[in-house]
């Protein structure tokens, strides 16, 4: 972390400097979160399709999942 506060400022300002490893780790975590989100959405859509296939109306399906 580097202090980049202007001389006339009363509020300190810092800039965070990350190494390439830290940046890659943060990117990997972000990608893992996105993959998990996509997987949850896929499972949800599958469940909704299966409930609809059982003959439930859209209203009934929404009542179940909320």
Q: Residue range 5-23: average pLDDT?
A: 84
d(CA 13, CA 5): 5
Whole-prediction pTM: 0.60
d(Cα 1, Cα 9) in Å, to the nearest integer?
18
Are 58 and 52 within 8 A, CB to CB?
yes
- Asked whether the predicted pLDDT for residue 66 surpasses 80, the reply is no
The confidence score (pLDDT) of residue 25 equals 93
* Percent of the chain's residues with pLDDT above 70: 98
- Residue for token pair 């009363």: 10
Residues paired with 9 in a beta bridge: none
Number of domains in the chain: 1
At 15-43, the pLDDT tens digits run 788 888 988 999 999 999 999 999 999 99
Residue 62 pLDDT level (bands cut at 50, 70, 90): confident
* Domain that residue 22 falls in: 2-65
By the 10 Å C-beta count (0-12 exposed, 13-18 middle, 19+ buried), 45 is classed as: exposed
């Amino acid at each position: 972390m580097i202090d980049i506060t202007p001389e006339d400022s009363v509020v300190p300002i810092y800039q965070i400097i990350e190494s390439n490893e830290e940046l890659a780790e943060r990117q990997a975590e972000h990608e893992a979160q996105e993959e998990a989100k996509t997987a949850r959405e896929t499972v949800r859509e599958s469940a909704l399709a299966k409930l609809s296939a059982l003959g439930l109306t859209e209203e009934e399906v929404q009542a179940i999942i909320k």
